[in-house]
Amino acid sequence: MKRMRLKINRKLFSNGIKIAFALALSFVLNQFPMDQIEFFAYDLLFRAKANNSTSGEIAIVNIDRNSIEQLRHEPDLTDYTLLMQQLKELSPKAVLFLPDLNRIEANQNQKAAFARSTEEINNFIVSVEDVPLAGAENKFKLSTPLHHINVQPGILSKDSRNFAQDNVSRRALVHYEGHYFAQAQIAQLINPVKDPMDYQGAFPFKGSIQVLVNLHKKGSFNTFSFIDVVDGNINKEDLKNKIIVIGQDAQSEADNYVMTPFLRDVTAMSKAEYNANIIDGLIKDNSIVQTSEDLRAWLCFLISLITVYITAQFRPTRGILSLLGLATGYFLISLLLFHLEIWIPVAHPLLAIFVGYYLLIPFRLVQENKKSWEYQQKNRLLTQVEELKNNFISMMSHDLKTPLARIQGMAELALNDKGALSLEQKDALSTISRSSEELSLFVSSILNFGRIESQGVKLKLEANDLNRLVEDVVKKYHYLAKEKNIEIITELEPLFSTPMDTALIRQVVQNLIENAIKYSPENSKVLIFTEEIDGKIQLQVTDQGAGIPVEEHDKVFMKFYRSKNAKSSPIKGTGLGLYLTKYFVDLHQGEIQIDSVSEQGTTFTVNLPTNLEI
């Protein structure tokens, strides 16, 4: 009970240490911002994510190279006026105008004509990349006669100073100091939202409300050339009643483009297409949802804890494979959730696996080396104990053999004395003789076992006749069989002399015949056969005893093993006889088999090769 409590306390202490280590590791890792790594993983998730469909509400009109080549100049206000006249006929829901009107040279008449053309279009908004300050909203107003044009902030955020700091555009500003940005104003025409925080994935940042844009791959929106729209070379149904974004894609100025998670190139995506993505995401309300800081901390702790347990419990190779599986599984789960527009952190948990393993593996190696050293010491001690045991058994057995031989000799001498002996005296002397012989066999078994355990047994081959050995052993046990009225039947076919270790094979024959007689009932038979089959000599010994259960057939040749039937009988044994028998047969490159039926008897079959070299 005390040991059990001590074991439980040790286990609880060990688990407490692991939990504390995982908690400390996750706490330390969470103190370091890893935005660059996190957003790099974010971009990988975006590239692996299936492309979602657009709302179909948005079309893009771009001033491309073809437009400039046909106009032979960049569009002026007269060209834009012609565009507005074409768009008026298409009744767009809204028009988001991105070109900078302050950079377009025009006279007052051209400006006035352009202003009148925009007044005939519903929800015409000019987007400027600037942020309004409270009380300074009028700074966005254009000069007369363009002063009636609706100018709204539509800044496109880049991760330059904050977050990943890699100039990639991932976010959209929705609201700032009481004002919706141009993209949100247009999106609300289709999906009106009262509170900007009601947008899916909305989060506050430095006084603004922002979302992570659920970007489509480049080319996902219907895009038309400026000159084709002006000339009417389009299918008007493709632009009718749409939200139209007017921008530039002539690949002449880097300012007209943004880098995206899909591609970090200066011309990765035009600003017109990025604006279309923002509006589309707000219409569908499917922005990427970030998990809370608390959930991120718990995920990091959970992954740290799993890493600690794997590193502590598993062997190095299995541990590395398990941790790789953990990292892969976590990434796949994050990819699945990202497909559902939920972004869980990747950097801290994956770093927890890496750092946790490399912090714990030296400690694990020290523990393994300590255990290995302890095992070596125990093994050395066990080896010494085994040597002492073998030496003691050998010494004891040798010391017993001499007095046993004397007792047996004196008993046989007394039995052979012609002097008058009473019947009781003869029975006593016979019992002494048999008992000393049994004890002598037991001592021989112990000696042979000791030799096998210490250094093994080497064969001393000589040519001999197996039949002669069998006959000698049968004569030796004739008296034992007679006492139980057991008939020994021998059918020995003529055999050639075969190379064998006579002493060892004699012991094999003795063990089999003695067991057959000992475990056979009175008034039964023991059958002994020898013959030559396929270049091997075969010995079979069959009794009519209780048999050996099938499930014990493989066990009876184990050292010190006794079958259930043998244990339940009054006959004593060491459990070494069949072990030594099989060992000696194996030494001769032979084989021994057992065939037994319950209550019908047992047959042992020994096959010995005839081609052993002397």
Judge if 349 and 254 occupy the same domain: no
Q: Band of the pLDDT at 342, cuts 50, 70, 90? A: very high
Closest CA to 345 of 333, 355, 356: 333
- % of the chain exceeding 90 in pLDDT: 44
Choose one of 216, 250, 285: the last residue of a domain.
Answer: 285
- % of the chain exceeding 70 in pLDDT: 82
Judge if 553 and 602 occupy the same domain: yes
Contact 131, 153 (CB under 8 A): yes
Q: Which residue has the higher pLDDT, 536 or 560?
A: 536
- Mean pLDDT of all residues in 138-154: 86
Determine, yes or no, domain membership for 427. no
Determine, yes or no, domain membership for 118. yes
The phi and psi torsions of 506 (rounded to 5 degrees) equal -60, -40
pLDDT tens for residues 304-318?
Answer: 999 988 888 888 788
- Mean pLDDT of all residues in 322-332: 92
Q: Band of the pLDDT at 68, cuts 50, 70, 90? A: very high
Judge if 170 and 208 occupy the same domain: yes
Q: What is the CATH number of the domain that holds 476?
A: 3.30.565.10
Contact 98, 245 (CB under 8 A): yes
Judge if 201 and 241 occupy the same domain: yes
pLDDT given for residue 483 in this prediction: 84
Looking at 222-236, 372-386, 590-604, which range is the least confident one?
372-386
Looking at 176-180, 274-278, 383-387, 532-536, which range is the least confident one?
383-387
The torsion region of residue 177 among left (phi > 0), alpha (psi -120 to 50) and beta comes to left
Q: Which helix (H) or strand (E) holds 592?
A: strand 591-597
Looking at 50-54, 383-387, 390-394, 456-460, which range is the least confident one?
390-394
Q: Band of the pLDDT at 113, cuts 50, 70, 90? A: very high
The phi and psi torsions of 42 (rounded to 5 degrees) equal -60, -45
- CB neighbours (10 Å) of residue 580? 22
Judge if 21 and 68 occupy the same domain: no
Judge if 90 and 159 occupy the same domain: yes
Q: Could you tell me the CA-to-CA distances from 387 to 26, 270, 391, 453, 560 in Å, in that order?
A: 53, 86, 6, 9, 19
pLDDT given for residue 377 in this prediction: 75
Looking at 262-266, 335-339, 557-561, which range is the least confident one?
557-561
Q: 530: domain range?
A: 457-609
Determine, yes or no, domain membership for 499. yes
Q: Band of the pLDDT at 597, cuts 50, 70, 90? A: confident
Determine, yes or no, domain membership for 527. yes
pLDDT given for residue 108 in this prediction: 92
Q: Band of the pLDDT at 178, cuts 50, 70, 90? A: confident
Q: How many domains does the chain have?
A: 3
pLDDT tens for residues 90-111?
Answer: 999 999 999 999 888 889 999 9
pLDDT tens for residues 344-368?
Answer: 999 999 999 988 888 887 777 666 6
Choose one of 285, 313, 337: the last residue of a domain.
Answer: 285
Q: Which residue has the higher pLDDT, 150 or 51?
A: 150
- Mean pLDDT of all residues in 510-518: 89
The phi and psi torsions of 32 (rounded to 5 degrees) equal -105, 120
Q: Band of the pLDDT at 201, cuts 50, 70, 90? A: very high
Judge if 134 and 246 occupy the same domain: yes
Judge if 188 and 304 occupy the same domain: no
Report the alpha-carbon distance of residue 234 to residue 237 in Å, rounded: 9
Contact 251, 267 (CB under 8 A): yes
Determine, yes or no, domain membership for 379. no
Judge if 229 and 328 occupy the same domain: no
- In sequence order, the 6+-apart residues with CB closer than 8 A to the CB of 404 are 436, 439, 440, 443
Judge if 79 and 37 occupy the same domain: no
Q: Band of the pLDDT at 593, cuts 50, 70, 90? A: very high
pLDDT given for residue 454 in this prediction: 54
pLDDT given for residue 381 in this prediction: 73
Determine, yes or no, domain membership for 403. no
pLDDT given for residue 137 in this prediction: 59
pLDDT given for residue 418 in this prediction: 58
Q: Which residue has the higher pLDDT, 496 or 54?
A: 54
Determine, yes or no, domain membership for 410. no
Contact 132, 195 (CB under 8 A): no
- Mean pLDDT of all residues in 194-202: 93
Find the largest Cα–Cα distance for the chain: 161
Choose one of 323, 349, 374: the last residue of a domain.
Answer: 374
- Mean pLDDT of all residues in 209-218: 94
Judge if 540 and 579 occupy the same domain: yes
Q: Band of the pLDDT at 614, cuts 50, 70, 90? A: low
Peptide bond into 33 cis (omega under 30): no
Q: Which amino acid is at 385?
A: V
- Average pLDDT of the chain is 84
| Structure token digits, residue 63 | 């001033």
Judge if 146 and 171 occupy the same domain: yes
Global confidence as pTM:
0.62
Determine, yes or no, domain membership for 361. yes
pLDDT given for residue 438 in this prediction: 66
